[in-house]
Amino acid sequence: MRKRIITHMNNDHADSVIRYAEHYGNASRYTSRHAKVEDVTLDKLVLSAGGRTISIPLDPPLKSFSEARERVVKMDQDCIEALGRDSITIKEYRAPKGFEAIIFATCFSTFILLSRPDNVAFVFQRLPEFAAFVLRIRLLVLFPMLAIHIFEASLMIRKLQRHSVPLFNSWYIRTSAGSDHQCNIPPQVSHSSRNYPQSGTSMSQQQPPQGRTSRNDDPVDNGFRSSSYADSEGLNGQQSYVNPEGLNGQQSYVNPEGLNRQQNWSRSPHTPYDPHNPQITAPPASHFTHDQRVETVNAALYTTTASATAATASAAFSAQATK
């Protein structure tokens, strides 16, 4: 069981392990990016990150490994609060499209155009008045523009950090090629897509897949208890379904707090929310859907990149005007 917990945390909840290293081990985001669980006992959790071994005491000690899930979930919630992170990690980058792509291409092509003096020399030769005007105002434009875009980029970087988005990484190239919506949920939520009820079927009539364990017997994933079955990696309600309690959903999933991360919900009014028996509930208006979160973070990525490019282009243009 100990080995199973270690494997499960490293494979399915790597973001939580990174947060453990950052919060409990005082490791930087960079050094903790490949943090792994090396061992777990009843009184401590041992991680490795950036060549360091981090030992996290479990106080009070676990009575048995069946308590592991509840404890690691609580630890992750503490880390999220202490680090100022969002419970959802964005793992998808969507390349700019439409008007955003035009703006990005314009800024980037300007940077390329001004990278060589010969590319713009004919402009200053044919328009000496314009060259003199640029020379006069270059410093008035350059420094305010640099300051504005640096400040803007710093604000956007904070948004990226909140959703644990890596900076200066090939992550953007790797994920922009994919089309699936991706996000990572903390340990209290499992997000799998194997062997779940089909559209229009009653979940109470379904039997657990062959070889799966009951959610009640799973020491790590026993957070979802209802009339439906769940395997050791969690219930994924991405299919349309209806169960005897009158719950139905489409393209959606739930966490133990009953928070809806997607759309199209209904809930039987006679079914009260019980934290020990989580059911599907409508989301608070203040919570974004997954698509909205992805769009917000990607807007931050575009703004950060465009700001840096525009600032560099301004500096290059002023330098060429000086020459």
CATH label of the domain that carries residue 74: 3.20.180.10
Residuewise pLDDT in 10s, the chain (323 residues):
889 999 999 998 888 999 999 999 998 888 888 899 999 999 999 999 988 999 999 989 999 999 999 999 999 999 999 988 887 877 777 778 899 889 888 888 877 877 777 777 777 788 888 888 878 888 888 889 889 989 988 888 888 888 877 666 665 556 555 444 445 545 443 333 334 344 343 333 344 444 444 333 444 443 333 333 333 334 443 433 334 444 444 434 444 444 444 433 333 344 444 444 444 443 443 444 555 555 555 555 556 566 666 656 555 555 554 55
Residues 20 and 153 grouped into a single domain: no
Q: Are residues 74 and 103 in the same domain?
A: no
Same domain? For 169 and 275 the reply is yes
Is 171 contained in some domain?
yes
Domain assignment present for 214: no
Q: Are residues 94 and 63 in the same domain?
A: no
Helix-then-strand count for the chain, H and E: 8, 8
Domain total for the chain? 2
Question: Does any domain span residue 67?
Answer: yes
Are residues 94 and 78 part of one domain? no
The confidence score (pLDDT) of residue 113 equals 77
Q: Please give the residue range of the domain that contains residue 77.
A: 2-85
270 assigned to some structural domain = yes
Q: Is the residue at 53 inside a domain?
A: yes
Instruction: Output the pLDDT for position 136.
Output: 85
> How does 246-255 read in b/e, with b if 16+ C-beta sit within 10 Å?
ebbbeebbbb
The token pair that represents 224 in the structure block? 């979802």
Q: Are residues 28 and 129 in the same domain?
A: no
Domain boundary among 53, 85, 117: 85
On whether residue 237 sits in a domain, the answer given is no
Residue where a domain terminates, one of 85, 107, 130 = 85
Same domain, 76 and 106: no
Determine the pLDDT at residue 128.
84
Q: How far is CA 57 from CA 60, 72, 141, in A?
A: 9, 12, 55
Judge whether 195 lies within some domain.
Answer: no
Rounded Cα distance between 297 and 304, Å, is 11
Kindly provide the residue ranges of all beta strands, DSSP E only, lying in the chain, ordered along the sequence. Answer: 36-40, 44-49, 52-57, 89-90, 183-184, 241-242, 248-249, 265-266
Q: Let me know whether 310 and 265 are in one domain.
A: yes
Q: What is the DSSP letter of 204?
A: G
Q: Give the pLDDT confidence score for residue 30 in this predicted structure.
A: 83
Return the pLDDT at 312: 60
Same domain, 32 and 112: no
Residue 233 lies in a domain: no
pLDDT for the residue 206: 41
Residues 13 and 119 in one domain: no
Residues 184 and 113 in one domain: yes
Q: Are residues 152 and 286 in the same domain?
A: yes
